[in-house]
Structures are given as structure tokens and as C-alpha cells.
């Protein structure tokens, strides 16, 4: 039943008419549990609250798949505004972005030029930029662009998804090249030709990737709300004496807050991914699809 619901939610998340409808109804429907607001100021306020609770943040301006060059220019300008907003408030935060929002599907060269501009600004403001990983058709390009830019700058990282068969090989290459990687399970609907269909296999590869990247001494962001994976990573780190400057735990805004607080109390670095913006719908549907029980939470909001 959960699988049927998950597939339906993933389909709905890609529907353009549903996106338009959701925009009209704003962040009601319960999306405000997962999205910090539509304006940058609201997101920076959320970052302030997280910082006060001992957590760092990474800000993501929602919006994927720029449909035109001006749209991609606007997304890039927003990334720069985010970096400036973080610096102006002295916040403990950095930036996450999706290459499709910078026009990856339109013109690779112009997308890379926009990213270079953002990285230059991030360097000036002593910040850091993480490339989120999107669906599998964009994986090769994202890793390729990351490796190209990583040669000339340290303040850029990439996310790698444990559900893809290719990812263990990617982690070996990236670790050997000295990369800063965020490891995640993976959030998109992928065919069996490219991704493990069973959760147990995803979890096994996820743990293996975390340990391999840490063993290489590369900076590792362990991004999960899965307590078993977090405990296994903590045990591995303790057994190998990995310094706390080499890794951090990351979680999504509105999810796993008790676990976040626990890790902060134990002295681990915790960073919360804070998405905001008008294009919250696709992100929201991915969060529902991950845990179909969240749909009840949405229905309760609708009744109010």
C-alpha cells in the first residue's frame, strides 16, 4: 500500500498543474512543517533559531529545472543574495543548490558560468556551496561539473545518493580526489536499472559509503534521520578516532528534531537543510513520498 501511495505522490510531485494549484494555496496543506517560508528573510529567521539551538544550517532556494536563461539568471542572483544575507546576519550557514535551477538542462556552459559566479561570491564571503544531487539523468553531469570546479576551489561539495548502483564507485573516485561529500540515501523515483529497489540494499551501501569516505579522511556530511545509520556511524568514528572536524551530521528542516538535539548535546556538529521559496511543492511532495504517513498530517491540516 505504501509503495502505491509513494508512486502516486512522486507522480503528483512532478505535475505542472498541481504545482500551479499549490502555489495558489501558499504554504497551507502542512508544507510549512518542511519549508521555512517563501521569503529569504523568513528562512534567515529560521536559521537564527537553529543557530541559537546550537545547529548550523544550509539554505536552499527551492526551484528546479529553470525553463529559460532569464529564470536561471534569477536563481543564480538569489543564490548570491542568500550568501550576502548569511554574511550580513553573521549566521552559521552555507548554501545548497541544484544545477538544474542554474540551467543545466538548457546550456551546460552557461550553467557552469553561473555556478562559478556564485562560488566567487562564496569565496569572498568565506562561505561554502553544496551541489545537491538530483535524479539519475543529471548525476553524471553534476559529478563532472563538481570535479571540474573542485580542481580550483575547496569551498564546494557535492551530494551522492546511496540508492544508485554507481555510487560506491563514485565515492571511491571522489574520496581519492579529496572531495567534500554529503551522503544521502536518495529521494527520487528511479528505475531498477540504475537504483536498488530494496531499502535493505540502499542502507547497506549507505553505511559502506560513509565508512569508506571517512576512512579516506575526507570531510563527510552524513545526511540522514535514520537512527540505526547514525549510531553505526558514531560507533565507527569512535573506533577509528576520527576527529570531529572531519564530519558532520545533517538533517532536513522539520524532521528528526529529537535526534538533532541529542547529537548537539553529545557535542557533534549538526547542520539543518533549510529550504524556502515559492516553488516548495516538488520538495514537499518528495517529503510526503518518503513517508506516506505524513499524508495524514496534511489531511488534518486541510480539515482545519
Among 38, 82, 95, 252, binds ligand FDA (CB under 6 A): 252
Residue 101 touches ligand FDA, criterion: CB under 6 A? no
Q: Which residues contact 113 (CB under 8 A, 6 or more apart)?
A: none
Q: Has 132 been annotated as catalytic?
A: yes
Among 61, 128, 247, 273, binds ligand FDA (CB under 6 A): 273
Residue among 78 and 131 whose Cβ is closer to ligand FDA: 131
Residue 283 touches ligand FDA, criterion: CB under 6 A? no
286 belongs to an annotated ligand binding site: yes
Helices 257-265 and 227-240: angle between axes, nearest 10 degrees: 20
Q: Is 54 exposed, middle or buried (0-12, 13-18, 19+ CB in 10 A)?
A: middle
Q: Has 154 been annotated as catalytic?
A: no
Quote the CA–CA distance of 303 and 284 in Å, as a whole number: 19
Distances (CA, A) of 225 to 111, 185, 245, 260: 32, 10, 21, 9
Cell numbers at 170, concatenated: 563514485
Min. distance of Cβ 224 from ligand FDA in angstroms? 3
Residue 287 touches ligand FDA, criterion: CB under 6 A? yes
Min. distance of Cβ 241 from ligand FDA in angstroms? 25
Residue among 225 and 269 whose Cβ is closer to ligand FDA: 225
Stretch that binds ligand FDA, among 71-79, 138-146, 182-190, 261-269 (CB under 6 A): 182-190
185 belongs to an annotated ligand binding site: yes
Q: Are 112 and 76 in contact (CB under 8 A)?
A: no
Among 100, 205, 250, 260, binds ligand FDA (CB under 6 A): 250
287 belongs to an annotated ligand binding site: yes
Query: What is the residue-wise DSSP string for 49-115?
Result: HHHHTT-EEEEEE---S--SHHHHHHHHHHHHHHHHHHHHHT-SEEEEE-GGGGTTTT-HHHHHHHH
Residues numbered 214 to 233 that lie near ligand FDA (CB under 6 A) are: 223-226
For 6, other C-beta atoms within 10 Å of its C-beta total 16
Q: Which residues pair with 164 in a beta bridge?
A: 195
Among 186, 275, 277, 282, binds ligand FDA (CB under 6 A): 186
Four-point Cα dihedral 274, 278, 282, 288, nearest 10: 60
Residue among 208 and 290 whose Cβ is closer to ligand FDA: 290
Positions in the binding site for ligand FDA (CB under 6 A): 132-133, 159, 161, 184-188, 223-226, 250-252, 255-256, 273, 287, 290-291, 294
Which positions are catalytic?
A: 132, 182
Amino acid at each position: 500500500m505504501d509503495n502505491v501511495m509513494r508512486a502516486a505522490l512522486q507522480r503528483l510531485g512532478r505535475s505542472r498543474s498541481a504545482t500551479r494549484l499549490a502555489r495558489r494555496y501558499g504554504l497551507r496543506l502542512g508544507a510549512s512543517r518542511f519549508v521555512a517560508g517563501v521569503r529569504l528573510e523568513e528562512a534567515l529567521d529560521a536559521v537564527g533559531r537553529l543557530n541559537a539551538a546550537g545547529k548550523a544550517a544550509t539554505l536552499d532556494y527551492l526551484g528546479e529545472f529553470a525553463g529559460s536563461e532569464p529564470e536561471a539568471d534569477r536563481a543564480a542572483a538569489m543564490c548570491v543574495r542568500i550568501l550576502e544575507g548569511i554574511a550580513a546576519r553573521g549566521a552559521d550557514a552555507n548554501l545548497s543548490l541544484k544545477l538544474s535551477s542554474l540551467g543545466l538542462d538548457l546550456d551546460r556552459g552557461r550553467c557552469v558560468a553561473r555556478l562559478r559566479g556564485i562560488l566567487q561570491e562564496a569565496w569572498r564571503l568565506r562561505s561554502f556551496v553544496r551541489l545537491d544531487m538530483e535524479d539519475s539523468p543529471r548525476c553524471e553531469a553534476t559529478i563532472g561539473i563538481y570535479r571540474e570546479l573542485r580542481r580550483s576551489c575547496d569551498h564546494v561539495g557535492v551530494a551522492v545518493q546511496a540508492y544508485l548502483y554507481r555510487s560506491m564507485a563514485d565515492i571511491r573516485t571522489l574520496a581519492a580526489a579529496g572531495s567534500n561529500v554529503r551522503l544521502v540515501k536518495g529521494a527520487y523515483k528511479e528505475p531498477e536499472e540504475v537504483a536498488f529497489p530494496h531499502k535493505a540494499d540502499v542502507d547497506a551501501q549507505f553505511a559502506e559509503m560513509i565508512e569508506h569516505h571517512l576512512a579516506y579522511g575526507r570531510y563527510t556530511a552524513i545526511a540522514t534521520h535514520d537512527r540505526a545509520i547514525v549510531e553505526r556511524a558514531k560507533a565507527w568514528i569512535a573506533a577509528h578516532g576520527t576527529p570531529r572536524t572531519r564530519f558532520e551530521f545533517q538533517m532536513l528542516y522539520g524532521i528528526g528534531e529529537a535526534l538533532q538535539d541529542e547529537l548537539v548535546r553529545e557535542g557533534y556538529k549538526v547542520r539543518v537543510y533549510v529550504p524556502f521559496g515559492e516553488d516548495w511543492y516538488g520538495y514537499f511532495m518528495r517529503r510526503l513520498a518518503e513517508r506516506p504517513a505524513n499524508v495524514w498530517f496534511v489531511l488534518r491540516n486541510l480539515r482545519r
